[in-house]
Amino acid sequence: MGNDLRPHAPPAGTDQVLVVLSDVEMGAGGPADDFPHSDWLADLLLSYDEPPFAGLPVDIVLNGDIVDLFKTPFEGRYPHHVTPRVALGKLEQIAAAHPRFFSAIQELLAHRGAERRVHFVTGNHDAELAFPEIQTDLRRRCGGSERLCFAGFELDLGRVHVEHGSQRDPMFAVDAARPIIEYRGEQLLNLSWGAVTLLDTVMELQPQLAFLDRVMPKTAVFELMPEAKELLTELFWNYWTRDYWRGFFGSDDPARRLTWTMVKEVVWRFGTKEPDVAMDKTLRDRLTHGDDIMLCILGHQHQPAWWSYGDRKLLQAGCLRNEYMLVDEGRELRPIPKCYAEAYLRRGTPLRSHLVEIAGPPAPAGYLPESFFDLLPPVLDLLTATERSRQATPEQREPDADEGEELV
């Protein structure tokens, strides 16, 4: 890849390099894959074996939503009962579509110049990392090194704190002490209520809506294509006023649970029509009032950001997945630069940290629509079908997807 992409070099005294990448969202290939560029990512990772990093210890932190197990189907479905078999089936598809990513990690960990470690931090798109079976399979695909680590939801390296950020989002937070639960004799992923909602509503519409999800900002998307906003509102309204409650009372399904946090968030999102994720501000308070950490690095929101308090900083690392800026009243889809974080440490204390913004590779042939408005016809078709479903009698509707669902 070459050093021309890097405006920074490690300062004198650096004894550890920290690289944090978030929200890659590698899928199972095809048009619905948000990151069809694993060769490019492999080159980026392996560039840390080159000068000026070749002789320094390097920690690569894959900070959540790296492999997009959430948006990958299993046997053509998106079950909200995710067992180890379901998780492994999803990972197999992603690995088949992105072999170079896994082989690059193996090459990186085999570097002889100085120690390399790779850490997987759990996000909301790869919650399946909690399964020991997934960790074993990932380690096998990456060469079997014990320097491939699974940190859980957060990682502390010296006075640096790294987490994906979804645990601070009320829609996607899960019980960190119970990421896996038992149900009917099987191990299940303890999914957030937000994840269950998306799996039960929009995930099967990925073929039609995947590219629309990559277009930013969402406020402009909905202004130029109000039909998309109407479709999503209709889908979620039907779910929360009808489908969610079908069979709710008397059911022991752990994916169907009611909390005050969930109710408040649903009411707020319907009231504000706010499409973007939310996060709290507790890490800023920790940086301001404590001295245990000097640097926090987050992902999840897909928006690079920089905040400081004296010599303490919070970096929001942006994302690597493909996203496009909607400009000129929808006449242009401009690629948004990819962004990640670097930090240089000495004995665990940050000497310098920054965001690295780079242009991604060109989109594959056929990946980009000729026009933003080419996305409208499938939205209109889905909107018509959704309105018909709402108006149908209970006898005319399709059976609830959960009725008779087996653990797979």
What pTM was computed for the model?
0.91
Please report the domains of the chain, with CATH numbers, ordered by start residue.
Answer: 11-191+280-361 (3.60.21.10)
* DSSP letters for 25-60: -B-SSSTT-S---HHHHHHHHHGGGSTTSTTS-EEE
pLDDT of residue 203: 94
Identify whether the C-beta of residue 285 lies closer than 8 Å to the C-beta of residue 310: no
Tell the residue number behind the tokens 């020991």, with chain if given: 132
The crossing angle, in degrees rounded to 10, of helices 99-109 and 38-46 is 10
Element housing 270 (H / E): helix 260-272
Q: How many CA atoms lie within 13 A of 214 on its CB side?
A: 30
pLDDT in tens, the chain (408 residues): 444 445 578 999 999 999 999 999 999 999 999 999 999 999 999 999 999 999 999 999 999 999 999 999 999 999 999 999 999 999 999 999 999 999 999 999 999 989 999 999 999 999 999 999 999 999 999 999 999 999 999 999 999 999 999 999 988 999 999 999 999 999 999 999 899 999 999 999 998 999 999 999 999 999 999 999 999 988 988 888 888 877 666 678 888 776 656 655 565 555 555 555 556 678 888 899 988 999 999 999 999 999 999 999 999 999 999 999 999 988 899 999 999 999 999 999 999 999 999 999 999 998 999 899 999 999 999 999 988 877 765 555 555 444 445 565
Distance CA 167, CA 176 (A): 8
